Amino acid sequence: MTDSMTIAAPILIPLIAAALCAVFWRSASIQRVISLASSVLLLAAAVWLLRTVTTQGIIASNRGGWQAPFGITMVADTFSAVMVVITAIMGMAVAIYSVAYPDTAAREAAGFHPLFQGMIFGVTGAFMTGDLFNLYVWFEVMLITSFGLLVLGGRRDAIDGGVKYVALNLVATTVFLIAIGLLYGVAGTLNMADLSGKLALVENQGLVTVIGLLFLLAFGMKGAVFPLFFWLPASYHTAPMPIAAIFAALLTKVGVYAIIRAFTLIFTEDVGFFSNAIALIAAATMITGVLGAAAHYDIRRILSFHIISQIGYMLMGLAIYTPLAVAGAILYIVHHIVVKANLFLIAGAIRQAGGSFQLKKLGGLYHTRPLLGVLFLIPALSLAGIPPFSGFWGKLLVIDASLQAEHYALAGVALSVGLLTLYSMIKIWLEAFWKPVPEEGSTYGGAVPVTLSRGRFAVMLTPIVGLAAMTMTIGIWTEPFVALAGDAAAELLDPRAYIAAVMGAPR
The rounded distance, in Å, linking the Cα atoms of 287 and 54 is 37
> Which has the minimum average pLDDT: 108-112, 130-134, 239-243?
108-112
Contacts of 224 by beta carbon, 8 Å cutoff, 6+ apart: 231, 232, 252, 255, 307, 308, 311
Structure letter (DSSP) for residue 225: -
**Strand pairing partners for 74?**
61, 129
**Strand pairing partners for 253?**
none
Residue scoring higher pLDDT (158 or 313)? 313
Give the residue among 307, 304, 300, 305 at the shortest CA–CA distance from 359.
Answer: 300
Backbone angles phi, psi at 340, to 5 degrees: -70, -40
Residue 108 pLDDT greater than 90, yes or no: no
Give the residue among 373, 349, 368 at the shortest CA–CA distance from 436.
Answer: 368
Chain center to CA of 63? 27
Phi-psi region of 27 (alpha: psi -120 to 50; beta: other; left: phi over 0): beta
Write out pLDDT tens, residues 335-382.
999 999 999 999 999 988 888 888 888 888 888 888 999 999 999 999
Looking at residue 22, its pLDDT comes to 93
Residue 490 pLDDT greater than 50, yes or no: yes
Mean pLDDT over 284-297 rounds to: 92
Backbone angles phi, psi at 63, to 5 degrees: -100, 160
Coil/strand/helix, residue 111: coil
Looking at residue 505, its pLDDT comes to 64
Residue scoring higher pLDDT (441 or 7)? 7
Q: What does pLDDT average to over the chain? A: 90
Mean pLDDT over 77-81 rounds to: 96
Backbone angles phi, psi at 24, to 5 degrees: -95, 45
- Percent of the chain past pLDDT 70, that is, above it, reads 96
**Strand pairing partners for 59?**
76
Mean pLDDT over 67-96 rounds to: 92
Backbone angles phi, psi at 151, to 5 degrees: -100, 10
Give the residue among 150, 176, 132 at the shortest CA–CA distance from 237.
Answer: 150
Write out pLDDT tens, residues 399-424.
999 999 999 999 999 999 999 999 99
Residue 272 pLDDT greater than 60, yes or no: yes
Burial class (CB in 10 A: 0-12, 13-18, 19+), 55: exposed
Distances in Å between the Cα of 119 and the Cα atoms of 14, 123, 251, 331, 447 are 9, 6, 9, 24, 34
Distances in Å between the Cα of 390 and the Cα atoms of 18, 176, 274, 381, 468 are 33, 34, 29, 9, 10
At how many degrees (to 10) do helices 112-128 and 252-265 cross? 10
- Percent of the chain past pLDDT 90, that is, above it, reads 67
Query: 45 and 10 in contact (C-beta within 8 Å)?
Result: yes
pTM for the whole structure = 0.94
- Exposure b/e, 448-483, CB count within 10 A at least 16 = b: ebeebeeebbebbbebbebbbebbeebbeebeebbe
Looking at residue 1, its pLDDT comes to 61
Give the residue among 254, 242, 243 at the shortest CA–CA distance from 459.
Answer: 242
Write out pLDDT tens, residues 427-486.
999 999 988 877 664 545 556 566 666 777 788 899 999 999 999 999 999 999 999 999
Longest dimension (CA), the chain: 73
Q: How confident is the model at residue 332 (pLDDT cuts 50, 70, 90)?
A: very high
Query: 284 and 227 in contact (C-beta within 8 Å)?
Result: yes
Burial class (CB in 10 A: 0-12, 13-18, 19+), 275: middle
Residue scoring higher pLDDT (386 or 108)? 386
Q: How confident is the model at residue 7 (pLDDT cuts 50, 70, 90)?
A: very high
Looking at residue 441, its pLDDT comes to 45
**Strand pairing partners for 358?**
298
Looking at residue 440, its pLDDT comes to 62
